[in-house]
Amino acid sequence: EVQLVESGGTWVQPGGSLRLSCEGSGFTFGSFSLNWVRQAPGHGPEWVSYISERDATTYYTDSVKGRFTIFRDNAKNSVFLQMNSLREEDTAVYYCVRDHHWSLDHWGQGTLVTVSS
């Protein structure tokens, strides 16, 4: 069974930093691209970042460029999201999501990031 388990979400003050982790199991981790998708309370999903399976090509939504970094460690079946200079508008549940056929086919349970003073 495919599983993605996120961790690292917590409360942080504006301007702070946080690193989210996601460990995958039940599939050949290094053969899939991965994404982070967030969902603010009462809102729809928002795609945040993508990392390819082999050459680690990355993409970001404009609002996080220069502040967030996605990277992966295929030996540990893990993908990470380093978040710096956090803002209140980054408050959301962050999901780790597998990419298959250019769609988001398996989602983790999510981890809550709250940015507030």
Which residues are near another protein by CB under 8 A?
Answer: 35, 44-47, 50, 59-62, 95, 99-110
Q: Give the separation between CA 105 and CA 41, rounded to whole angstroms.
A: 22
Distance CA 3, CA 14 (A): 31
- C-alpha to C-alpha distance for 68 and 85, rounded to whole angstroms: 9
**Any residues with CB less than 8 A from the CB of 111 and at least 6 apart, and which?**
6, 7, 8, 9, 20, 93, 94
Considering the complex, state which of residue 12 and residue 104 has its C-beta at the smaller distance from another protein: 104
**Shortest Å distance, C-beta 25 to another protein:** 17
| Smallest separation, CB 87 to another protein (Å) | 18
Give min distance, CB of 117 to another protein, in A. Answer: 27
54 vs 101, which CB is nearer to another protein? 101
67/100 with CB nearer another protein: 100
Please choose, from the candidates 82, 95, 90, the residue with its C-alpha nearest in 3D space to the C-alpha of residue 19.
82
Nearer to another protein by Cβ, of 52 and 77: the residue is: 52
CB of 40 to another protein, least distance (A): 12
